[in-house]
Amino acid sequence: MKSCASLLAMIGLAAPLYGQSADGAACGKLASLKLEGTTLAAEAVGAGEFKPPPLPPGGAPSMPQAFAGLPAMCRVTATLKPSTDSDIKVEVWLPASGWNGKLQGVGNGGWAGSIFYFMMANALRSGYAVVATDTGHAGSMGDGTFAFNHPEKLTDFAWRAVHEMTVTAKVLIEAYYGKGPRLSYWNGCSTGGRQGLKEAQRYPSDYEGILDGAPANYMTHLATHSLWVAHATLKDAASYIPKEKFAALHKAVIDACDGLDAVKDGVLENPRQCRVDPKSIECPPGTDAPTCLTAPQVEAARKIYGPARNPRTGAEIFPGLERGSEMGWAALAAGPAPLSISTDHFKYIVFRNPDWDYKTLDFDKDVATADEIDNGLLNANNPNLRAFFNRGGKILMYHGWNDQLISPGNTINYYNSVVKELGPDTVSKSMRLFMAPGMDHCFGGDGPNMFDGMAALEQWVEQQKAPERLIAAHLANGKPDRTRPLCLYPKVAVYTGTGSTDDAANFVCKAR
């Protein structure tokens, strides 16, 4: 990265751009920076004036309420072309005043294809300079066609776009403010979680703190698991489970296991203590009803709870969904076809055949082929985070137990692999995992799922105050109706026996 002085010389200024012109001239001059393979545009945006551009169908959530009253900023848009087939769109937002001296990079979901503007807005409100990217293509989060016969675009999506946007953002920050960010944070869930881990593994100096939710870091096996569920429920009509039956199975699980944590609240504190067999609601022979499962449906539900396995060796490919998550099973099991995120992986990357049929997937040979082709490109499951930790980097991970798209067991498996690689003492100083009972994929669900992970991460990085628990809230009609601590894994929240069970103050974190 060039020095601030050399950057300023490029655009003919002897002083930092920040604050030099209320009419936006200083912001506009950022477009004159000459960065290799980069096209820049910049504009001053007044307080409350930002309006997000149209997003592609199936792209990032629009969430218009996130943009009301945004503070003034210098908005930089960039196109990065690190390869001849690259077309990476990036936005960098620089607070016009009140900059906290830090950078926040925000992630994507699915196959990306658009910028998560609402996450940028949240970071800007907190005083951050913030950066995001579409990862090199425009389209639906469920559409992987961009990767078909475009290996450079796939590389951009896999890791290059996030790294390049981070480097570019730091250059722009230094040019605008006269100094680079004193600290840089990552904030992402799902694909954003995978991106955060890839950064720590591949570019350990890009970020000091990583807030990492429900990471899609084992992409080849995650795609396989989605198709495992499709094989169990969609391949054979007799095994298909109608949506209304998910409620019946969920009720059976809650009725049997809700009291295991001594608090009946419709949420399982530790789903792995629950052993309900779907056979418990099997229909009498020769009958069917919305409140019971037929014998083939029982077997299908067992496969959803169980891990995807190699049929030849019996080895686990990817862990199953947890008990308590049944109300979200429609995402993978309701059909009429599997998630395109997963089928596209095999169609356009593994087999490079748009006509490939998911019903032909061989859970032995084809999974091995997918792993071999990936060779660490998309997958971010390298447990050796020593370089990141040695720089003082911190990773705060979280995952909802009711996640309906990415099994929470995947995050636990990765966390445990890092512990095995580096030892528990090293990991406890640099990486912490919090499981959220009743939380769905990244947000939502019956359990408390709203919490300020970034504040906890900031305290850890900046004040060496390692988080022991996070206070989460469940919202009803936009207002909290329950709070609960999320405990440092593998501890769980235990009711003290007095006071409201809707108040986090009446719970302690204990190992069980």
Report yes or no: 122 and 77 within 8 Å, Cβ to Cβ.
Answer: no
Report yes or no: 239 and 394 within 8 Å, Cβ to Cβ.
Answer: no
190 is catalytic: yes
Q: Which of 225, 345, 399, 441 is catalytic?
A: 441
The number of C-alpha atoms within 13 Å of 435 and in the hemisphere containing its C-beta is 26
Q: Token pair for residue 56? A: 């592609």
Q: Which amino acid is at 14?
A: A
Report yes or no: 307 and 319 within 8 Å, Cβ to Cβ.
Answer: yes
Tell how many helices (H) and how many strands (E) occur in the chain: 16, 15
Beta bridge partners of 486: 470
Closest CA to 463 of 270, 130, 208: 208
85 is catalytic: no
Q: Which of 206, 212, 261, 403 is catalytic?
A: 403
Beta strands per DSSP E along 304-344: 308-309, 316-318
Report yes or no: 217 and 376 within 8 Å, Cβ to Cβ.
Answer: no
Neighbouring residues of 316: CB distance < 8 A, sequence distance ≥ 6? 307, 308, 309, 310
**What is the per-residue burial (b if ≥16 Cβ within 10 Å, else e) of 144-182?**
bebbeebebbbbbbbbbbbbbbbbbbbbbbbbbbbebbe
| CA–CA separation, 355 and 492 (whole Å) | 47
Report yes or no: 68 and 90 within 8 Å, Cβ to Cβ.
Answer: no
Backbone angles phi, psi at 19, to 5 degrees: 75, 5
Report yes or no: 187 and 454 within 8 Å, Cβ to Cβ.
Answer: yes
Q: Which amino acid is at 475?
A: L
| CA–CA separation, 425 and 384 (whole Å) | 14
Which stretch of DSSP H or E encloses residue 459?
A: helix 453-463
Backbone angles phi, psi at 155, to 5 degrees: -65, -40
452 is catalytic: no
Beta strands per DSSP E along 193-320: 209-213, 308-309, 316-318
Neighbouring residues of 18: CB distance < 8 A, sequence distance ≥ 6? 26, 94, 99, 176, 177, 178
Give the DSSP letter string of 112-169: --S--HHHHHHHHHTT-EEEEE-TT--S-TT--GGGTT-HHHHHIIIIIHHHHHHHHH
Q: Which of 140, 190, 340, 342 is catalytic?
A: 190
Q: Please identify every residue annotated as catalytic.
A: 190, 403, 441
